[in-house]
Chain A
Amino acid sequence: MKPKFGVVVFPGSNCDHDAYYAVRKVLGFDAEFLWHKETDLKGCDIIILPGGFSYGDYLRTGAIAQFSPIMDSVYKFAENGGVVIGICNGFQILLEIGLLSGVMIKNESLKFVCKNIYLGIENKDSIFTKSISKKILKFPVAHGEGNYFTDESTLKTLETNNQILFRYISPSGELDSRFNPNGSLNNIAGIMNQKKNVMGLMPHPERCCDPILGNSDGALIFQSVANSFLN
C-alpha cells in the first residue's frame, strides 16, 4: 500500500511547504496539509509535524501548539500505533504533549544554530531508518532550542530500549561533544517513543531531499518510512 502523508500546519509553521514538497514532489507520495484547527486526519498514514515557530514559540517552544484541536487526533492516532514524525518545532511539540519524553532547553551557546551537521544512525531497525544503507547522514539544523534534556532514569530507558535514533557526530563518524551543535545530552539529535512509531528529530530532512540542492540524504528517511507500508 502506498502511504499518504499529512503535514500539519500550525500558525507559525514555516517548514510545512518544504515537507509537502519533499514527500509529494520529490518522492511522489500522496500528501495533504492538515490545518491545526481541524480534527480530521483525512486518512493520512504518516503525520508530519513540521518545523517553524508555532504560536511564536511563546512561553516555551511547542507549549501552545500541543493544545491545537488537531493534536487530540494526532495523539490518539499515535497511541493507536500511527506513524508520527516531528521535525524541529514538531519534535518540541511531541515533547510538550508527552508523546516523546524529555524537554528542549536553549542551546548551550545561547545562539540560534543554522548549519549542516552529521548524524550517526543509532538504531538501524526502526521503520525510520531500516532501508537506509548509509551510515552517516548530512542534514541541516536550524534552531535556538535543540538542547535535549531529560532525567537520568529516562535517559537510561532511552539508551537501553534503543529509542535513540540519531546522534551528532563528525563527518567521519567520531562521537564527541565538539560535534554537538546545541549541547544536547549524549549528543542526542533524534529519539523515538517506546513503541517506536513516533520519531522526533531536530535536524531537517525535508530541507535536503531534492537532488538539485546538492544533498538528498533527507529523502532516505521519508522513503524508509514509506517502505514500511509498501513492503
Chain B
Amino acid sequence: MAVKKLRVFRADASSCNGCDIEVLEALLPRFKVGEYIELVYEPEQAEALVITGGANFKTADEIRAIYEKLREPKIVICVGSCAISKGIFAESYSMRGPADQLGIPVTVFIGGCPPRPQAIAQAIASLLGLELDTSEDYWGVPEGFRGLPEFDPEKCVACGACANTCPTGAMSFEDGEAERAMRVNYGLCIYCATCEEICPEEGGVRLTGEYRAFFKGKDEMVKGIEVPLRKCANCGRPFATDKQLEACIRRIMERSGKVFEPLLKELKTLMSYCRECRHTVANVRAGKALLIRAALASLS
C-alpha cells in the first residue's frame, strides 16, 4: 500500500551536529517511521521543518526564510535543547534563536541533548497519528541511561547544590513566602548528570530512565517540587528549609555524634537563626562557646 509521505526539510541552525545525526538515524528502518517520511532539499516542497540548534547570527535569517517558504500546514519540529532554549549556548554572543523567538510557531518540541532516535521516532509517529510497535528491547533504556532528571520529594532537602553546579542553569530554586520551589527545566537541560553527582543527599535529584520529552509549549517543560521553608527564630524571615537544617544536624551527629550529643540543644538553637541573626555579637559569642566546649569534649 502506498502511503502519503510527510515531506520534511531539515534545517541545521548552528547545531553541534549531534541532533542532526540522530534525526537521520530516526529514519532508519529500525525505528519504523522512515517509510512515512521523505527528506526534501527545497523548502518549497516541504510541509514540515525540523530545526536543530539555537540559530546564530547567520542561520537565524535563513531558517526564518525557510519557514516562510514551507507548504501548508507548516509543521515545525524543534529537536534538542538548543532548538528549544539555546541550551548550553544560551549566553553566547552569537546566538539569535531559539526558533520560537524568531517568530516561528513550533508544533512540537523534542527535549534531549540530543534526543534518542527512539524519542524522535515516537514524536513523529504521534504527529502522524501512527501506532508504533515498541516491544523490542532497544525501545527501552539500558541501565544508567541519562534521562529526564527528577527531584525525589522524600530525599531532596532543597539545598540548591544542583542549581549551583548545573552548567546550563536548567536547575534552579526560588524562595517564596513559606516554600522553596526547586525547578528543573527540561528545555535547558543537557542531561549531563552533574546534579545527580553533586547531590549531597544521594538521590535527592536523579536522572530517570524516561527519555520521551515531548512538549507543545514551554510552560510544560518546567517541573519541580516545593519544600517548606523555616523562619528565623529571631527575625522571622524564611532562610532555609527544615529538611536542609535537619540534614545538617544529622551529618554533624554522624561524624562527631559523641561530642555534640550533650550540646545538641544549643546547636539546634544556633541553627534556627538566619545568617544575619547568627552574626550578631551575642550569637557569634554563643557559637564560639559551643565550639570550645565541643573541642574540650573531644579532648577528654
Q: State whether these chains interact.
A: no
**Interface residue ranges, A against B (CB under 8 Å):** none
